[in-house]
Amino acid sequence: MTAIRTGLSALLLLGSWAAVGAGPAAASVPAAEPKLSTGLLTAMQRDLGLDADEATVRLAAEKTATAVEGKARRAAGAAFGGSWFDADTGRLTVALTDAGKARAVRATGADTALVRHSVRQLDSVKREIDALKAPAGVASWHVDPKANRVVVNVVAAERDDNDVRSFLDRARDAGPITVRETAQAPVPFAAGTVGGDPYYTGNVRCSIGFSVHGGFVTAGHCGRAGAAVRGWDGTHIGTFQGSSFPGDDYAWVSVGSGWWTVPVVLGWGTVPDQLVRGSAEAPIGASVCRSGSTTRWHCGNVLAKNETVNYSQGAVHQMTKTSVCAEPGDSGGSFISGDQAQGVTSGGWGNCSGGGQTWHQPVNEILGRYGLRLHTA
């Protein structure tokens, strides 16, 4: 613990000096490319089966794809059918309903694929499905740009349940869907009080997400507005200022009583602590890593965006699905791609021994909802 917190202090000083030196006069000076953490590369090798060189090349390609995505979407206009990162080619692919837009989109640095449905049409189908009451055997649903359909995930053992069949019939009436099976239903990753470096509210343990100016963001199912929060040492940190669950799964906690915020994600001694430099959203297919107080540091890929997850407590919307594992107590923890904040851990299925899937609530949505500003290095 001491080593971790000493490292945090050093990172805090580094972040503070960087902030003091930054200003309009320095805006035109290009920043040095941050050196890749050896711990991040090690985690990607372990969880994604890459060697160090492959991980380095992939991170660079994903950074380029993230920068290209916005330009490509603007070039596609109403013909935009979604996009995804292709790990084999190292490039972003943009789906188009109009072949006449291909040249303009390719000029941004993206590849193209011709599809039938625009993302606007598929989002409309998903909204109709969102309005349905889903039975427990339906795990989640999202727009899949590569399949060019809305994918509905059902628990394999519940596929033939009458309520599940009825839901799927109504979903098909809404528009083009594909049904896929998943091993288990997702659950929020909260936990009772155990040791580690968490925060606590009542007898629930969760994990800090990202520092914002004045506090930190985390998962909404971890506590309601007004609930007091204790730190890893049992002392008072602050109070939940806003919280939403279900429907959403996000919250923010004010920080005081001698606590302070730092623009880092904990490596827990497994990898070096990671500086947070922004919140550019990684595309589908990109690698992403997660830090939490139970299972520490793990990596995987972004599988889907804007997915509706059907927890037993109610549906949660606009979630990002990943192949990263997690376990109870990891809730609220950080999802980060490179040095860019992605979201806070919500829930999933499986564990870090046998594998599974985990969803996060995108951090930019949380910042916008509460008018918060991400604390960056």
Residue type at 64 in one-letter notation: T
Distance (Å, whole) CA 268 – CA 298:
11
Residue 291 designated active-site: no
Distance (Å, whole) CA 145 – CA 363:
22
Residue 360 designated active-site: no
Distance (Å, whole) CA 135 – CA 154:
10
Distance (Å, whole) CA 93 – CA 83:
6
How far is the CA of 302 from the CAs of 86, 215, 248, 295, 360, in angstroms? 11, 27, 19, 19, 10
> 118 and 145 in contact (C-beta within 8 Å)?
no
Which member of 117, 142, 221, 360 is catalytic? 221
**Tokens standing for residue 274:** 């990671």
Tell me how far apart the terminal alpha carbons of the chain are, to the nearest angstrom.
22
DSSP state of 78: G
Residue 248 designated active-site: no
Residue type at 186 in one-letter notation: P
Which member of 249, 273, 330, 339 is catalytic? 249
Q: Tell me the pairing of strands 250-254 and 91-96.
A: unpaired
Distance (Å, whole) CA 156 – CA 137:
8
Largest CA distance in the chain: 66
Half-sphere exposure of 144 (CA within 13 A, CB side): 16
Residue 102: what are its φ and ψ, rounded to 5°? -60, -45
> Is residue 269 exposed (0-12), middle (13-18) or buried (19+ Cβ within 10 Å)?
middle
> 349 and 278 in contact (C-beta within 8 Å)?
no
Which member of 331, 334, 337, 346 is catalytic? 331
> Is residue 155 exposed (0-12), middle (13-18) or buried (19+ Cβ within 10 Å)?
buried
Omega before residue 176 within 30° of 0, cis: no
Can you list the alpha helix ranges (DSSP code H) found in 77-138? 102-106, 119-130
Catalytic residues: 221, 249, 331
